[in-house]
Amino acid sequence: MSNSEVAELPVVRDGDVVPCCPPITAGELSRADAEKMAAMFKALSDPVRLRLFSKVASHPGGEACVCDIADVGVSQPTVSHHLKKLREAGLLTSERRGTWVYYRVAPSVVAAMAAMLDLRA
Amino acid sequence: MSNSEVAELPVVRDGDVVPCCPPITAGELSRADAEKMAAMFKALSDPVRLRLFSKVASHPGGEACVCDIADVGVSQPTVSHHLKKLREAGLLTSERRGTWVYYRVAPSVVAAMAAMLDLRA
């Protein structure tokens, strides 16, 4: 793999999407925070997208390429579309290496969603 | 409040919606679990609905009636529609007492969502 093959895609890195918010039990979400968090939840609101997300998250090494996870019963362009949505919402990061784009869960973003739903907090 | 005024609505009680699933890092979600969880995430995918949810969750005593939380900039029928969606998804429970319907967060359902997003697990 040559360096010139790297990062041909716009790469969302963990940290580009700044997560918020306090736990929902702590107080009312602001309008701005609600917009931000709703977009993240929306990314997980499709069953196929959620399965793809779980496939990336549970893949050995914590990363997967389309070639590893495309067996969800939809076409490859649809898989790519869903992965793009997850990336745009900040839940996945991506990196092109050679022929393939590799996806990873963005831990801080997913942790922020979990923290917001933490009723013990 | 007389007993005859109680439970005029179909009441979803915590436990009616059986939550699932292992953390996403533990393995691929089944198709059935993905359908179930996606519906819960969908309930939080609208900013107004998410704000209403946070208002119920953070209300003193852990419960709120429409009268407590309707100031989110949409009409009261729209508020009621959103609360119904949250109830149908199992995230809120409701109980009519006298004139008002009171809403509470369904803790096991929300905890299941948080657990699924727990990357430390």
> Residue A52 belongs to a domain with what CATH number?
1.10.10.10
Q: What is the pLDDT of residues A3-44, one digit of tens each?
A: 443 334 444 455 455 567 889 999 999 999 999 999 999 999
Q: What is the pLDDT of residue B19?
A: 67
Q: B42 CA to chain A: closest CA distance, Å?
A: 4
| Ranges under pLDDT 70 in chain B | 1-19, 121
Residue type, B71: D
Q: What is the pLDDT of residues A75-108, one digit of tens each?
A: 989 999 999 999 999 999 999 999 999 999 999 9
Domains identified in chain B, total number = 1
Q: A68 CA to chain B: closest CA distance, Å?
A: 12
Q: What does the pLDDT average to over A53-60?
A: 95
Q: Which of B14, B30, B31, B45 to mutate to test the interface with A (most CBs of A within 10 A)?
A: B45
Q: What is the pLDDT of residue A2?
A: 41
Q: What is the pLDDT of residue A8?
A: 41
Q: B78 CA to chain A: closest CA distance, Å?
A: 17
B94: nearest Cα among B64, B60, B52: B64
The answer to whether position A47 is within a domain reads: yes
Nearest chain A residue to B34 by CA distance is: A47
Nearest chain B residue to A120 by CA distance is: B111
Considering the entire predicted model, what is its pTM? 0.83
Q: What is the pLDDT of residue A49?
A: 97
Helices (H) and strands (E) in chain B — how many of each?
Answer: 5, 3
Domain of residue A93: give its range: 31-117
Q: What is the pLDDT of residues A42-52, one digit of tens each?
A: 999 999 999 99
Q: Which residues pair with B65 in a beta bridge?
A: B102
Q: Where are the beta strands (DSSP E) in chain A?
A: 63-65, 92-97, 100-105
The answer to whether position B16 is within a domain reads: no
CB of B82 closer than 8 Å to CB of B49: yes
Q: What is the pLDDT of residue B6?
A: 39
B74: nearest Cα among B98, B42, B50, B57: B50
What the block records as the tokens of B106 is 């369904």
Which residues of chain B make contact with A37, given a CB cutoff of 8 A?
Answer: 44, 50
The secondary structure of B47-104, three-state, reads HHHHHHHHHHHHCHHHEEEHHHHCCCCCCHHHHHHHHHHHHHCCCEEEEEECCEEEEE
Q: Which of A35, A46, A51 to mutate to test the interface with B (most CBs of B within 10 A)?
A: A51
